[in-house]
Amino acid sequence: MDLSFSEADQRFRDEIRTWLAENLPAEMAKKVAAGDELGKADLEHWHALLNEKGWLAGGWPTEFGGAGWNPVQRYIFEEECCRVHAPRIVPFGINMLGPVLIAFGNQQQKDYYLPRILNGDDWWCQGYSEPGAGSDLASLRTKAERDGDHYVINGQKTWTTLGQHANRIFCLVRTSAEGKRQEGISFILVDLDTPGIEMRPIRLIEGGHEVNEVFFSDVRVPAENLVGEENQGWTIAKYLLEHERTNIAGVGYSQEAFGKLRGLAQKLKRDGKPLAENAMFATRMANVECALEAMRLTNLRMLMEAQARGDAGSAPSMLKIKGTQIRQEINDLARRAMGPAAAPFPSELVAANIPHPAPADHSRSAHSYFNNRKLSIFGGSNEIQREILAKQMLGG
């Protein structure tokens, strides 16, 4: 048993750390640290910097322009990025569609789309959920009917994250009403400029515009945009969800948030003493730190197993449940620490040039807390994850 990283892993970490120190733009890191929303330009700029270094698609094989990292290396990269408040890589092209195309796409699709993802020509978004198909994704009804060389798509997708920046969307569509519901689903790529598509913003609880609904009416998509076989979409979707779940524990993000919380609790005073010395508050912090340290190891343990087996199994479900609970608890403490000063809409203060009543780089703590309630809902709610694990253990 050896709980330390190998020498090679340590060298890898040093290399990442050095590069980040020299290349992460300070302004960008400042925004990330403050929890500000990054605009499209910032995210594209960060992608370009990473791509130049060859690190944008850490998990892709090198033959497709990826870094070919193993899961532990990818974990180290995430941890190092979080440590210095680097922006998150936009996952839709890199972590979701890319692996799908590599596994299921034909040569033409790989040759055309993969470089475009890496060099930023395409910004992909996801068309999975529908108003009637959330947790029960297989009940999706958006239909694609074959008409000569085209599919004609009608229906509605929702919760399309950052769709406002995207020029393309990958969709799960129903191509057959026969047999089991899962067997009539296909995976198709759609250019958002195609006539008949309308994207509308959904405003979220904290006031931000992060997700959208997408309406399709008689949208004609070339049949060559189908990925894999017709009616093979569910297999692809499951594969994609597994890739979405690498690093799902979000250990790096939790560590980053906990570090911020610790600094905040030392800075803020409660009844004349630093909040960090308030026994009630410190106990809650200590509890979550214990859970986070355990999670860090659980995550690495499961990554090593996955690496050895070549298959993550059900580990992502467990990591998602506990990982999101930890992150949400840290968010709870961060907003709680602010007391009444958590209440203002920070954008209103900025617009009116009013100084924030508490450390300004924590002014979005309530926003982050409310926004991150999504963590236990999206990508398969924590209830669905528990059901996956229970079925595996108990059957049924």
Partner 1 sequence: MDFQPSETRRMLADSITRTLAKQCDYERRRAVAYEEPFHDPALWDALAELGVTGALLGEDKGGFGGEGFDIATVFEAMGGALCPEPMLGQLMGLSVLADAGADCEAALAGEERLALAMGEPGGGSGLEPPETRARQADGGWRLDGRKSVVWGGGSAHRLIVSAAHESGMGLFSVRAEDAAVAPYAMIDGGGAAEVSLDDCPAECLIADGQAALDRAVARGQLALCAEAVGVMDHVQGLLAEYLRTRKQFGVPLSKFQVLRHRLIDLCVELEQARSITLKAADALDRAEGTRAVSMAKALVGQAARQWSEEAIQLHGGIGMTWEAPVSHYAKRLVMIDHQLGDSLWHLERVAEAYKAA
Which helix (H) or strand (E) is 51 found in, with range?
Answer: helix 40-53
User: Catalytic: which of 244, 256, 293, 387?
Assistant: 244
CA 314 to chain centre: 19
- If the CB atoms of residues 294 and 343 are measured against partner 1, the closer one turns out to be 343
Q: How far is the CB of 205 from partner 1 (least distance, A)?
A: 4
Find the binding residues for partner 1 in span 326-365 (CB under 8 A): 328, 332, 335-345, 348-349, 352, 354-355, 357-359, 362
Our answer to whether residue 145 is catalytic in this structure is: no
Q: Are 190 and 199 in contact (CB under 8 A)?
A: no
94: amino acid identity, one letter: I
265: amino acid identity, one letter: A
Find the binding residues for partner 1 in span 229-248 (CB under 8 A): none
What's the CA gap between 246 and 45, in Å, rounded?
A: 24
376 binds partner 1 (CB under 8 A): yes
What's the CA gap between 35 and 85, in Å, rounded?
A: 10
Q: How far is the CB of 25 from partner 1 (least distance, A)?
A: 29
204 binds partner 1 (CB under 8 A): yes
Q: How far is the CB of 85 from partner 1 (least distance, A)?
A: 21
Token pair of 112 as six digits: 């055309």
- CA-based nearest residue to 164, from 201, 189, 131: 201
> Of 205, 294, 297, 304, which one interacts with partner 1 (CB under 8 A)?
205
Q: Are 145 and 151 in contact (CB under 8 A)?
A: yes
Q: How far is the CB of 227 from partner 1 (least distance, A)?
A: 25
Q: How far is the CB of 107 from partner 1 (least distance, A)?
A: 37
- If the CB atoms of residues 192 and 204 are measured against partner 1, the closer one turns out to be 204
Token pair of 149 as six digits: 């060389």
395 binds partner 1 (CB under 8 A): no
Token pair of 14 as six digits: 């040093």
> Of 140, 166, 268, 288, which one interacts with partner 1 (CB under 8 A)?
268
143: amino acid identity, one letter: K
Q: Are 221 and 168 in contact (CB under 8 A)?
A: no
Q: How far is the CB of 255 from partner 1 (least distance, A)?
A: 23
Which helix (H) or strand (E) is 188 found in, with range?
Answer: strand 185-191
- If the CB atoms of residues 296 and 364 are measured against partner 1, the closer one turns out to be 364
> Of 38, 196, 381, 389, which one interacts with partner 1 (CB under 8 A)?
381
Find the binding residues for partner 1 in span 148-167 (CB under 8 A): 158-159
183 binds partner 1 (CB under 8 A): no
> Of 73, 109, 129, 385, which one interacts with partner 1 (CB under 8 A)?
129
Region for residue 112 given its phi and psi (left: phi exceeds 0; alpha: psi -120 to 50; beta: otherwise): alpha
Q: Are 328 and 372 in contact (CB under 8 A)?
A: yes
> Of 292, 367, 380, 385, which one interacts with partner 1 (CB under 8 A)?
367
Half-sphere exposure of 253 (CA within 13 A, CB side): 22
By CB under 8 A, which span of 10-18, 116-124, 240-248, 274-282 interacts with partner 1? 274-282
274 binds partner 1 (CB under 8 A): no
By CB under 8 A, which span of 60-68, 84-92, 164-172, 372-380 interacts with partner 1? 372-380
320 binds partner 1 (CB under 8 A): no
- CA-based nearest residue to 323, from 238, 241, 392, 258: 258
273 binds partner 1 (CB under 8 A): no
Q: How far is the CB of 88 from partner 1 (least distance, A)?
A: 19
What's the CA gap between 66 and 141, in Å, rounded?
A: 35
- If the CB atoms of residues 109 and 278 are measured against partner 1, the closer one turns out to be 278
What's the CA gap between 346 and 72, in Å, rounded?
A: 38
Q: Where are the beta strands (DSSP E) in 62-178?
A: 124-127, 143-147, 150-157, 168-174
Q: Return the CA Rg of the chain.
A: 22
Query: Which residues are near partner 1 by CB under 8 A?
Result: 129, 132, 134-136, 139, 158-159, 202-207, 267-272, 278-281, 284, 328, 332, 335-345, 348-349, 352, 354-355, 357-359, 362, 366-367, 369-370, 373-374, 376-378, 381-383, 386
As annotated, the active-site residues are 244
